[in-house]
Amino acid sequence: MFVITCPHCREKREEEEFSYGGEAFIARPLSPETLDDAAWGDYLFMRKNTKGWNWEMWGHATGCRKWFVVKRHTATHALEGAWTLADGRKIYDAEGAGA
Amino acid sequence: MQKDYSVWSLFKQGLRHNEGWDPAWKSPEPKPSYNVIIVGAGGHGLATAYYLAKEHNVRGIAVIEKGYLGGGNTARNTTIVRSNYLWDESAMLYEHSLKLWEGLTEDLNYNVMFSQRGVFNLGHTLQDMRDIERRVNANNLNGIDAMVLDGAEVKRRIPLIDASKSTRFPILGASFQPRAGVARHDAVAWGFARAASKYGVDIIENCEVSSMDIAGGRIKGLQTSRGYIGADQVGCVAAGHSSVLAKMAGIRLPLESHPLQAFVSESLKPCLDTVVMSNAVHGYLSQSDKGELVIGAGIDHFNSYAQRGSPHVIEHTAAAIIELFPMFSRVRMNRQWGGIVDTAPDACPIISKTTVKGLYFNCGWGTGGFKATPGSGNVFAHTIANDEPHPLNRAFDLNRFSTGHLIDEHGAAGVAH
Amino acid sequence: MSSFRVQHANARVDFGKPLNFTFDGRRYDGFEGDTLASALLAYDTRMVARSFKYGRPRGIVGAGAEEPNALVQVEAGAMTIPNLKATQVELYDGLVARRTTGWPTLEFDVKSFGGRFARFMAAGFYYKTFQSRRLWPKFEHLIRHAAGYGNTPVDPDPETYDHQHHHADVLVIGGGASGLLAALETGRAGLDVILIDEQSEPGGWLLSSPNSVIGGKSAPVWIKDCLAELRSLPNVRLMTRTSAFALHDMNLVQAAEQIQDHLPPSQRITGVPRQRLHRIRADRVVLATGAIERPLVFGNNDIPGILTASALTTYLNRYGVACGSRVLLMTSNDQVYQGACDLADAGCTVTVADTRYASNTEWAKRAAASGVEILNGFGIARADGGRAVAGAKLVKLHADKNEVAGDGPYVACDVIGSSGGLSPTVHLYCHDGGRPIWDESKLAFIATGTGRAKAGIYCVGAVTGEFGLQAGLEQAFRTITDLLTSLGKTPSRVASDVRTNEPAPAPPRRIFRVPDGKREGHGKKAFVDFQNDVAASDIHLAVRENYRSIEHIKRYTALGFGTDQGKLSNVNGFAIAADALGKSIPEVGTTTYRPAYSPVTFGTLAGAHEGDTFEPRRYTAMHGSHAARGAEFEPVGQWMRPWYFPKAGEDLHGAVHRECLAARRSVAIMDASTLGKIDIRGKDVRDFLNRVYANDWTKLAPGKCRYGLMLDENGMVMDDGVTACITDDHFVMTTTTGGAARVMSWLEKWHQTEWPELEVYMTSVTDHWATAAIVGPKSRAVLVKLCSDIDLSAAAFKFMDWRDGTVAGVPARVFRISFSGELSFEVNVDASYGHHVWEALMEAGAEFNITPYGTETMHVLRAEKGFIIVGQDTDGSMTPFDLDMAWAVGMKKPYSFLGKRSFTRSDTARSNRKQLVGLLTDDPKVVLKEGAQIIETSNTRPPVPMLGHVTSSYFSPELGRSIAMAVVRDGIGRRGEAGVKDGRDVVYAYAGGTAHRVKIVSSIFIDPKGERQNV
Amino acid sequence: MSKPATAPIIQSPLHGFGLVTVARAMNDTRGVWANEVPFLGYISLRGASTDAALTAAAAQALGLSLPTEPCTFTRDGAIKVIWVSPDEWMITCQRDRRAALLSSLAKGLEGIRSQVADNSGGFTQVLIKGRNARDVLSHCTVYDLGALGEGRVVGTTFGKSSVYLHQASDGYCLLLRRSFADYIWRYLVRAASPYGIGVAVFGPGHSGAAE
């Protein structure tokens, strides 16, 4: 069971305060109508499901109700950090994790 | 040729201090290449190999496994077998599987201890009861045994259950499938392994796939921890690790791998003669032949490959069991564990060809794979042998995620299998 | 009589406080401080159980959590507890226990006859037989009834449980010598420390070894001083009878505290839980979990009276019980010698068969001084005796090969203790992924002291393989020094404080299975796992049958799957498997364990989440009014909503009939407070609504309301409700009762992750507003009596308008909306006045016989109008078009609203999807079953293709007939009024074996033009 | 038609437990004492902490500054402003101050990106005091109570529900939603039973807002 430091409350909190939000940074297509069914289906359903370091969203359900991102290892449960969406995005891009 | 198992062989071997038994299956070195390689020696993978050899006369089959055979979800589930699903597509697939279960011990000459003690799916709200009615009527029209029972009848058949109205989730009734039940999970893997081995299938343990050799849109072979192995066809049946394999082939799957936990009590004298499942309170349990209460917990919501979940999930499940059976609060949990389940958006499996010729995937069974073991292997074998889906798994291909033809079984699936 | 009490001063029992208890119907005496096991052994009790598979006589083997055999049922009735280990049951006056195996009696056990055919029942035998499909159920019945230990209670548990959460700098698990040292050092350094120990008092092995000396103090004094200082430190918390049973990610430890189990039921305090789950989150966890002695494996090693050597020592030194007078000890190491001396000093005749050719010289000297006979290089080939051990046949062992080198004496004895060395208690260390490593010099799987320090896990003492007291304390001191240094602190002690009187150790002999000169399987059964009747020969058989992975061996033989979690058997099993496989132990694999270290009750796991507090029940401000009027309640999500209001003698149907007619003919009132309400404000609010709703919100004027459909990205309806425009930048959205929380976080998630640029804020005001819906032709007449500042006239206050005003003296927001098709006003007030306003409306409506109604009547009224209930008429697979609600979809909106793109996918765009329609039965009295399946013909012989199902079905008092809503393939095109030909509008509804002929019609059954709500 | 003769009757979320009738002065016979502090005003305020205009205008309207440090609250007499998130606060006050504060906020925040919503019917407060107050809470919430210093407030779990929690003079103050009040009170009473719980009379000085 994890301890996550909410980047907004800036405190260590127990996992039970949070809800898991799935893979981070899945951007909604800007013009869905221009996508074919396969591409739309990919956005809707296909997931990286990474084994290893995983960028994922968590929401601070009982606290500030903010969504933020966490970098967590899905095989060891090691947790590298938690960031606001904006800050996390910078690191995510720097890592090329989106590629 | 391997000796059959029977009372007489037990007697004969007993007299010889049990020194004459053959290996249950052979463990050969991998050959340079095979016609078909099945990746993943869990129940589904071994069943696939067995039926490929038995029903489709395919030879040159290997099943490769990164750990030991039957060590994944086959060995970690709560062994419930049933077919009372809502939609035609899944109901037919699971019923096909249930029929195979009914003859499996004799077919494999290995007692998988399939125990048809019936499964109750409890209803706690008016909507639960509507859904139960809908599902049971659908089951009946599909020729699947199922019935709706009221609260009093549930209490009559499960004496220890708390049927009082004052509970947070009063029991309004249940659906009941008499032919459903439980089986001995390890025996299923070992039985299929032994039977497949009899047909000359090579079972290669401690052999992990590191990459796929794909040329001209066709699978050529696999790079493994035990060297390169060539193959004309490759069927991946790797449950929680399916996404990892798919990535090697440049394929994306609509899967998320989650921990699913379970636990058993200490061994008790018989106190529960059937299987009880409740989605509303998130608990399901049965009693093993050894006397342990076998209890399935909910899935952890985060992705994981660690075969480890969070304790509060187990705690909530224990509370759910006590809500149904208050006296069990004095019973003790002996052991808990976790598996990795690959869940699909519509809680239905994927048994499908892929964009890579000769590469097939059988995954997405989520929390409910065990019950499908023989049926899954059976139709997947057909799919591989004919490079064409079996009528029963046509609906379970990957296209449904672009056409939108999902088969939403969340109601029937819930957490509970 | 071979066992006897030794009333010495160091015993932890109070010989001045006799207690009596009952085991298996016979009365015994014991003393305060005894366990059930020690008290029984004092009576020379040998057989206490029958074995799981063969029904062999079994006795007490251990002295703690490792006990495999002595599983007992304590107390009776609702208080009964199955499967307690007699070695862990603290004796109290009047305790009643009985055996859990042996049928019909312990002496005469039916299973033991089967046991005679053990050779035909080797590992996995049931996989090989009982294959007849017809006979298996009968065999299974027999197997089930032969298996199992204790009985579950059948009455609800009269005791309670709870949870407590702790956060600490350091958690020390285990109160033995190293644990006490660790707690002292970290405590003195000022850290927040929790020390937990599973036993009734800390001390661990020192309690069994009072002659040990630490830093010049005798063990009892050293313990006393440690505890005194720990108790004096405000930053240290000491918990006994508390068993850490699981270690989870990031150092969360679950520990079960036995608060009342050691007290007689009559003395237990009500209101105080029986047991408590402590969840301890610690920055650093110090595992001082010690080690457990493993027995040697030899022929007939399961005869009652054969224990571990350490258990014999514990019973003597801690409980004052000599378990026999002629003691035979077999060992591969130094561990047994202190006990041997103590037993001899207590008056026993003691023989030590030391499998080593050379014993530890210092120990040999001390033993000789106590009159202990030592036979070097001998081992037990086989023990004799049926229900009590009587003697053992020794053999001379080869000096370095574990083979028989020659004959040996026969030793008559009444108790045997064996020691194959110690196995570190690495259970917790494994739970979160730690892997112990095999140390060939220590012959053990060990945890490393600081190997996992990065994760905050430190191991001290015997768990690291430092088995000697001296070595263990030194290792503990080094490790704690590292821990403190990492925190910039320094230890207070100097190493000399941990000097002991222990002789320098001599190396152990590497032996697990004592040879008997026969091939495995030919000699007497030599058991590895007592609880599961796993013998050495079973492991060899498993390997022979190619179950070669250690996991296969364990599963095929059931090795280590008992309630003792393989504490005694695991390493022996590994070693014997390694032998059979011709591999080294590390090649076989590493031992690993899962929670629980020792079993924990479901009640402890559940804590207070039980009964009234199992799951929240949410109540509205008017709940008191409803209860007072005798409402029956229906749980909807977490809410308790009135279902119907029966009058005396009325059933559901009677009440609903009356309530419906009141709403249609006069006036009725419903509590609608549970609907979710979200206040949304900001200049971009219309844009936001346009994105999250299918409808178009661009033109909705202030003062107006609109019904909206919310879709998921898959294009399917997920929620619905009425949203009011307060001002251009301020809207109030209502959601379904069950969907409120989901919708709120859905909206927040989209706003935060995708559209942060939209200027809009959302706040849930669900709990703030209490809502009463006044429904029916007379509703205006009622409201007007309580509301003078809103012009309620049809002209001034139109359908789908809202107004602010005052109702019953309370500021109110009144919506003129209708979920029934009748003239209707929904009055929203500050929930603090909800009860007041409800009662005022009831009073004002009295002259019109205003009738309160619940969810059931609400469902009928809305079904008569064809209004959907999301979750009942939809199931996550219905689009707005499937529901014939295209009017609620703004396809021209510029932004591609959530779900829109999915409409055009081939399957979603299909014309013949399942669509919502109405159904009328031929027989107006027949009310279809909700959940009935729609089929084409009356033929119900499977397989029958299904067209859809009935989603809602009621008897309509207004129409005097049944009505139903259903989703039917291509249903909209098959409706009667669509003028379909050749009876395409006729189908059958199947439920419970019968199929009723029904006509497909529009789902709007009354007032299709919607005139009533506009009056 | 005119207003009814009787004045509106207000009812608190825990009305059903009849706490008023069983409440008595605290003493040493119980490990923990608790009671509801009913009928306060609750106002939800949303806007960006980083928006100087907003914080200034709100401070002006409230007569005390908005806490912008996470997990803290500010207080001035009977008014308390609780930090909920970087763009949300909960203001608690005496009920009779509510209308004035709502309108001054509305006026003050005119034209500033923000939201003000009256939530007075939706919340209540429970005070917990006595020597075992912290012990009792440690049974109810996963939060590390050691980290809850003076002036800090956190949103965390309470059984299977959630609360806002902060220290009050020699005790703790729970801020909770109306519909969960019944569950939370039952859970609290059960958790407290090993220590003995009494329903206390908290003097006028003990209104939650003043804590």
Residue B30 has pLDDT above 80, yes or no: yes
Ramachandran class of B412: left when φ > 0, alpha when ψ lies in -120 to 50, beta otherwise: alpha
User: What is the mean pLDDT of the segment spanning C745-761?
Assistant: 97
Contact C786 D4 (CB under 8 A): yes
The pLDDT of residue B412 is 54
* Residues D47-65 pLDDT 10s: 999 999 999 999 999 999 9
Q: How many CB atoms lie within 10 A of CB C418?
A: 30
Contact A21 C749 (CB under 8 A): yes
Chain A positions in Cβ-Cβ contact with residue C749 (cut-off 8 Å): 21, 59, 67
Cα C1001 to Cα C964: distance, rounded to the nearest angstrom: 10
Give Cα separations from B154 to B130, C635, C835 (angstroms).
17, 20, 39
Residue C83 has pLDDT above 60, yes or no: yes
User: What is the mean pLDDT of the segment spanning C800-810?
Assistant: 98
pLDDT, mean over chain C = 96
* Residues D77-112 pLDDT 10s: 889 999 999 999 999 999 999 999 999 999 999 999
Chain B positions in Cβ-Cβ contact with residue C163 (cut-off 8 Å): 315
Sequence-distant (6+) residues with CB within 8 A of B82 are: B94, B98, B119, B177, B180, B181, B275, B371
Cα C219 to Cα C555: distance, rounded to the nearest angstrom: 42
* Residues C507-565 pLDDT 10s: 999 999 999 999 999 999 999 999 999 999 999 999 999 999 999 999 999 999 999 88
The pLDDT of residue B410 is 72
* Residues C155-210 pLDDT 10s: 999 999 999 999 999 999 999 999 999 999 999 999 999 999 999 999 999 999 99
**Residue D137, min C-alpha distance to chain C (Å):** 9
Percent of chain B surpassing pLDDT 70: 98
Q: How many CB atoms lie within 10 A of CB B166?
A: 8
Is residue C993 a contact partner of residue C979, using CB atoms and an 8 Å limit?
Answer: no
User: Closest chain B residue to C520 measured between Cα atoms?
Assistant: B17
Nearest by CB to C713, which of A33, A44, A79?
A44
**Per-residue tokens: B10:** 């037990």
Read off φ and ψ for residue B9, nearest 5 degrees: -65, -35
Ramachandran class of C637: left when φ > 0, alpha when ψ lies in -120 to 50, beta otherwise: left
The pLDDT of residue B411 is 58
Chain A positions in Cβ-Cβ contact with residue D88 (cut-off 8 Å): 64-65
Sequence-distant (6+) residues with CB within 8 A of C146 are: C111, C114
Contact A47 B254 (CB under 8 A): yes
* Residues B152-188 pLDDT 10s: 999 999 999 999 988 999 999 999 999 999 999 999 9
- Among B320-329, C104-113, C305-314, C817-826, which stretch is predicted with the lowest mean pLDDT? C104-113
* Residues C376-425 pLDDT 10s: 999 999 999 999 999 999 999 999 999 999 999 999 999 999 999 999 99
* Residues C643-692 pLDDT 10s: 999 999 999 999 999 999 999 999 999 999 999 999 999 999 999 999 99
The pLDDT of residue C282 is 98
pLDDT band at D207 (very low <50, low <70, confident <90, very high): very low
Residue A97 has pLDDT above 80, yes or no: yes
The pLDDT of residue D5 is 53
Percent of chain C surpassing pLDDT 90: 93
Is residue C833 a contact partner of residue C925, using CB atoms and an 8 Å limit?
Answer: no
SS3 C844: helix
The pLDDT of residue C589 is 86
* Residues C883-936 pLDDT 10s: 999 999 999 999 999 999 999 999 999 999 999 999 999 999 999 999 999 999
pLDDT band at C114 (very low <50, low <70, confident <90, very high): confident
**Residue C165, min C-alpha distance to chain B (Å):** 12
Residue D203 has pLDDT above 90, yes or no: no
Residue D210 has pLDDT above 60, yes or no: no
The pLDDT of residue B414 is 42
Between vectors from CA B70 to CA B64 and to CA B74, what angle results, nearest 5°? Answer: 125
The pLDDT of residue B2 is 67
User: Closest chain A residue to C764 measured between Cα atoms?
Assistant: A65
Residue B225 has pLDDT above 70, yes or no: yes
**Per-residue tokens: C734:** 């209502």
Is residue B410 a contact partner of residue B347, using CB atoms and an 8 Å limit?
Answer: yes
CA neighbor of B353 nearest in space, from B409, B397, B385: B397
**C349-354 and C326-331 as β-strands: parallel, antiparallel, unpaired?**
parallel
Between vectors from CA C635 to CA C631 and to CA C639, what angle results, nearest 5°? Answer: 95
The pLDDT of residue D208 is 42
Read off φ and ψ for residue C649, nearest 5 degrees: 80, 0
**Residue D64, min C-alpha distance to chain C (Å):** 23
The pLDDT of residue B415 is 38
Contact C635 B168 (CB under 8 A): yes
Cα D209 to Cα D41: distance, rounded to the nearest angstrom: 9
A59 reaches D (C-beta below 8 A): no
Residue B413 has pLDDT above 50, yes or no: no
Residue C60 has pLDDT above 80, yes or no: yes
The pLDDT of residue C423 is 97
D5 reaches C (C-beta below 8 A): no
Contact A74 B402 (CB under 8 A): no
Place of tokens 């052979």: B26
The pLDDT of residue D205 is 46
Cα C890 to Cα C209: distance, rounded to the nearest angstrom: 83
Best mutation target, C164, C166, C169, C250, to test chain A (most A CBs within 10 A)? C250
Cα D140 to Cα D121: distance, rounded to the nearest angstrom: 25
The pLDDT of residue C495 is 67
Chain A positions in Cβ-Cβ contact with residue B311 (cut-off 8 Å): 1
A13 reaches D (C-beta below 8 A): yes
**Per-residue tokens: C179:** 């644990």
pLDDT band at B298 (very low <50, low <70, confident <90, very high): confident
Chain B positions in Cβ-Cβ contact with residue C595 (cut-off 8 Å): 335-336
Give Cα separations from B248 to B84, B210, B211, B271 (angstroms).
36, 8, 6, 48
C713 reaches A (C-beta below 8 A): yes
User: Closest chain A residue to D159 measured between Cα atoms?
Assistant: A16
User: Closest chain B residue to A36 measured between Cα atoms?
Assistant: B402
Cα C553 to Cα C548: distance, rounded to the nearest angstrom: 6
* Residues C228-249 pLDDT 10s: 999 999 999 999 999 999 999 9
* Residues D187-200 pLDDT 10s: 999 999 999 999 99
Intra-chain end-to-end CA distance of chain D, in Å? 44
Contact B403 A46 (CB under 8 A): no
pTM of the model: 0.97
Chain A positions in Cβ-Cβ contact with residue C281 (cut-off 8 Å): 3, 14
Is residue C396 a contact partner of residue C407, using CB atoms and an 8 Å limit?
Answer: yes
With 0-12 CB in 10 A as exposed, 13-18 as middle and 19+ as buried, what is C712? middle
Chain A positions in Cβ-Cβ contact with residue C753 (cut-off 8 Å): 57, 67, 85
Residue B1 has pLDDT above 60, yes or no: no
Place of tokens 């844009």: C687
* Residues B335-347 pLDDT 10s: 999 999 999 999 9
User: Closest chain A residue to D85 measured between Cα atoms?
Assistant: A64
On the CB side of C449, CA atoms within 13 Å amount to: 21
The pLDDT of residue D206 is 47
Read off φ and ψ for residue C220, nearest 5 degrees: -60, -40
Place of tokens 């109901």: B91
SS3 C144: helix
CA neighbor of C215 nearest in space, from C186, C180, C190: C180
* Residues C931-985 pLDDT 10s: 999 999 999 999 999 999 999 999 999 999 999 999 999 999 999 876 777 789 9
Q: Which chains touch D (3 or more CB pairs under 8 A)?
A: A, C
Is residue C480 a contact partner of residue C185, using CB atoms and an 8 Å limit?
Answer: yes
The pLDDT of residue D204 is 58
ipTM of the complex: 0.97
